[in-house]
A and B are shown apart, each in its own frame.
Chain A
Amino acid sequence: MNSTYEVIIGLEVHVELKTQSKLFCSCSTEFGAEPNTHTCPVCLGMPGVLPVLNEAAVACAVKAALALNCTVHPFSKFDRKQYFYPDLPKAYQISQYDEPLAEHGSVPIVIDGAVAKTVAVRRIHMEEDAGKLNHLGQRLGDAKGSLVDLNRAGVPLVEIVSEPDMRSADEARLYLTELRNVLSYLDISDLRMEEGSMRCDANVSLRPLDYHGSLEDLPRVEIKNVNSIRNVYRGIEYEIARQAEKMGRGERIVKETRGFDDQNGRTYSQRSKEEANDYRYFPEPDLPPLVLTASYIEEAAQSLPPSPMAIRQELAEAGVTANDAEVIVADRAALEYWRSATAVFADKRQVTNWMLSDVSRLLNAYGDTFWTARVGPQALADLLALIERGTLSGRMAKEVLDRMYETGGRAEDIVQSMGVSQITDKAAIQAVVQQVVAGNPHVVQDYLSGKDKALGFLVGQVMKQTKGQAKPDMVNAILKDVMADYAKA
């Protein structure tokens, strides 16, 4: 199929900015409050009210733009995008239309720790969010009524529009992942797709290989408001297959907006663009243009944290594999944890391994994150030090970690109270080995006649008798010595 068309994907991502107050009034932006408790005459669209721009939101948007390698314009302006809907109190959304805050950025697509491709960002602009409708029925049309919650109305957003540079669902997934990585280090948004603080619309079209016109003129399908990166991937995959099949049958692709049903993994038609709104954009007369000085933009650029690519470099230099590094880069809490732990424990690979396996297992089990981990970086380092000193085997350390997580206790205290510390006394181990060897003469015989596997059985027996506390490499060495003696005898 790929021989007859090329997949063209562009993404529009809305990101809610984590400011104290809304974009044009002083109401709180907090998520999850009682309906309509975070409202005032301004965000309710009362007669006579006026918007006043929240400078903290501008600072967040400028950071995002710079981190995405955009050119921030010293002059941009706000416009009204007009349509009627009950979640839009003024019947227009204050947005930026033809003179956005920033343009011409880029997001790398990273595969195996290296930049495989760069997707261009067309523009970033600021706008206000709408409220939410809760329908008392199936849908607005036949609902008995609809309840409007305007807590979200006026929450600041940035919209990040990519160029149609992606050629597969996987590239779209990687673009979104890296976009989220970049933004996560700026501390400007919760970036929670399931709560709507990051939302994605995907534009998907197929270019027949013999079509050489403008990509803008291809019939484009917009998949609206998908609530996870995985579902964006699924929606695009489905849409590519659907359009390819239509094309294969010689049918026309209709330019339309489609929703995504995550139950069955399909997209479904919402409305065709033919009946789309004329938004009648015009410059917002209540707000002066947004003018940013060169020094303001320069200062913001200077204060940016290291990029995910720089962090990957740091992790690679510490011996972290590319796969592990992706996990850490994607989770800022994990990175902070990793940095703190490796600052007090030198074996960085050991830290990485424990973090991504056993600590992560416990975080999942307890519903914690690396921010809220009940075994912190120092506590983990203490535990790893016990392994290094030989006090604990790896297997024992896992048990100790579980107990530490449960009780919040220190590794050494738990080792003592559990009585699990490793037996490293050579004489003690030798005594057990002698006993085992004496009790299993035919197994010893098997080993001596060349069956190496027999040694494992004997090691297991020693471990069983010592309740697993004997230091395994010592058991191995002593057993071999004793066997060597037998062989000579």
Chain B
Amino acid sequence: MRIYEMTAGDIASKVRRKDLSATECMEEIAERIGRVEPSVGAFLHLNLDEAMRQARAIDNLPSGERERLPLAGVPVAVKDNMATQSMPTTAASKILEGFVAPYDATVVSRLQHAGAVIVGKTNMDEFAMGSSTEHSAYQLTRNPWDRDRVPGGSSGGSAAAVAAQMVPVALGSDTGGSIRQPASYCGVTGFKPTYGRVSRYGLIAFASSLDQIGPLARNVDDASLIYEVIAGYDPLDASSLRVEKALPKATDVSWANVRIGVPKQYGSSGLDASVQARLAEVISRLESQGASVVEVSLPHTEYAIAAYYLVAPAEASSNLSRFDGVRYGYRASGADLLEMYENTRAQGFGEEVKRRILLGTHALSAGYYDAYYLKAQKIRTLIRQDFEQAFAAVDVILTPTTPDLAFRFGEKSQDPLQMYLSDVYTVTANLAGIPAISTPAGLAGGLPVGMQWLGPIMGEESLLHIARGFEKLWPSEGWPALGGEA
């Protein structure tokens, strides 16, 4: 097996034992990236020299120290909305072109303390607003399974880098599905933990009350491994939770004891036939293992998209106000202060970002706040209650991750509303703050299909356990063949 095909867990245990040097690993990863990246375009920034330096530093550690590193020598890609001192952090926006943060995001320092090597920063929809990574101000990222198609978004670069085996694991951020949807489109595992589990310090905020960082990986164990490293209370993030994280049991799932809910509201409309068929197959395979699959009711789901597209843009309009050309990033000239502001933001932001800033500004305006933002927050409470009731009866809720499969470039970008509607299965987890994971369930017509598993707040342990059980039940069919394979 080639090093680039190895899991993060294998690399780490080999490097810890010195069966593999971090340098050797990094060299092969660099070679793989050099070969594959031109046809995928997953990275906005690479700093392979720095990565080699980090790898050598790990090899040079006294063995006692190296043996304690859970991610010893593991190459990791980080979405470009997380602050790094060693590379620019642009959130794929012109307004932050060339911006290098003077500090590292908490997740980045945690990864590095655990022995991981940060390879590069991945492409994304500008400020994480989008579902295809087409809204990057810099480049397209191609789906490794079909390079005429999008990788999903907004963490499209991270999903593509993992699927193309350029890195075993990557970080993404998920505000309404931005980890899970690209994971589904690219056939990898994408995990959004409970809101507050992972520090947001250093994550360029899109919608503060919805954003959550999580891993993308080629299996659930690797996702769990990264989760273990990045989760936990951070004094720099007042919304981070002061609770112990628990990792999944190593045991097999005894499906006979698992109660699985399938929401009746998540059916039919807009659901692609091949996805619907795959869901049915998945259900029958689970049932054949003895799992009980029941219908659950999440009656307020129909308001979820509306609520999400009020809350998220409202918070975004506020969070993105700091990009004003005064202190850092892009500044346009103007005859006076107001004109400088207007020109900077008009030229610095892309169309989708501007659309959402306008939406959000309107939703928070005097006279509209109660009708829009406040009402949307009330819907969030109802959605949270829907889930609480559902989880009283089931252990986990199963849905497709997306109603469709990876689409072609340009296919949906002319119709933002249609793009928004495809978030239907993912946004409720962010609105309710619950953990959710997308796992691959094979291919349909050569394109990956993803299944989403939703758990109760702080239910990561059981959720990851079940997801790993499903992975065994529906093993991977392998990885996309990319040009130049040796």
Contact residues of A with B, CB < 8 Å? 41, 44-53, 80, 82, 84, 86, 89-92, 140-141, 148, 278, 280-282, 285-288
Contacts and interface: CB of A to CB of B under 8 A. Distances in A.
Contacts of A86: 324, 326, 337
Nearest to B329: A47
11 contacts: A47-B204, A47-B323, A48-B82, A48-B200, A48-B202, A48-B204, A52-B238, A89-B326, A280-B361, A282-B314, A288-B238
B321 A47 contact: no
Max count, chain A CB within 10 A of own CB: residue among B96, B203, B318: B318
A49 to B, nearest CB: 7
Interface string B316-353: 01100111101110000000110001000000000000
Max count, chain A CB within 10 A of own CB: residue among B235, B337, B361: B337
Contact of A89 (B202, B235, B322, B336): B322
B365 interface: yes
Contacts of B105: 48
B101 A47 contact: yes
B154 interface: no
Interface string B30-54: 0000000000000000000000000
A48 B318 contact: no
B238 A51 contact: yes
Max count, chain B CB within 10 A of own CB: residue among A41, A50, A89: A50
Interface size band for B:
35 or more
A141 B335 CA distance: 9
Contact of B322 (A45, A281, A285, A287): A45
Contacts of B314: 282
B102 interface: yes
B416 to A, nearest CB: 23
Given A91-B321, A282-B369, A48 B337 contact: no
B176 to A, nearest CB: 15
Contact of B238 (A89, A91, A140, A286): A286
A41 B337 CA distance: 23
B203 A48 contact: yes
Contacts of A92: 318, 321
A485 to B, nearest CB: 91
B209 interface: yes
A137 to B, nearest CB: 12
Contacts of B239: 50, 285-288
Given A47-B91, A47-B99, A148-B326, 5 more contacts: A46-B101, A48-B200, A80-B318, A141-B337, A280-B317
Contacts of A50: 200-201, 236-239
Contacts of B7: none
Contact of A278 (B101, B201, B236, B365): B365
B373 interface: yes
Contacts of B297: none
Interface string B434-456: 00000000000000000000000
A146 B327 CA distance: 12
Interface SS, B side: loop
B226 interface: no
Max count, chain A CB within 10 A of own CB: residue among B83, B102, B204, B322: B322
Nearest to B362: A280
B366 interface: yes
Which 9 pairs show the lowest CB-CB distances between chains A and B? A91-B321, A285-B208, A285-B209, A280-B364, A47-B204, A48-B202, A45-B322, A48-B204, A278-B366
A91 B341 CA distance: 11
B318 A280 contact: yes
Contacts of B322: 45, 47, 89-91
B89 interface: yes
A138 B103 CA distance: 37
B205 interface: yes
B134 interface: no
Contact of A48 (B83, B207, B238, B373): B83
Nearest to B203: A48
Nearest to A280: B364
B315 interface: yes
B366 A280 contact: yes
Max count, chain B CB within 10 A of own CB: residue among A44, A82, A91, A280: A280
B92 to A, nearest CB: 13
Nearest to A287: B238
A49 B318 contact: no
A148 B327 CA distance: 9
Interface in B198-217: 200-205, 207-209
Contacts of B81: 48
Contact of B102 (A46, A91, A287): A46
A285 B327 CA distance: 23
A210 to B, nearest CB: 32
Contacts of B99: 47
Contacts of A53: 238
Contacts of B318: 80, 82, 91-92, 280, 282
Max count, chain A CB within 10 A of own CB: residue among B203, B321, B373: B321
A82 B201 CA distance: 22
A52 B366 contact: no
Contacts of B341: 84
A48 B102 contact: no
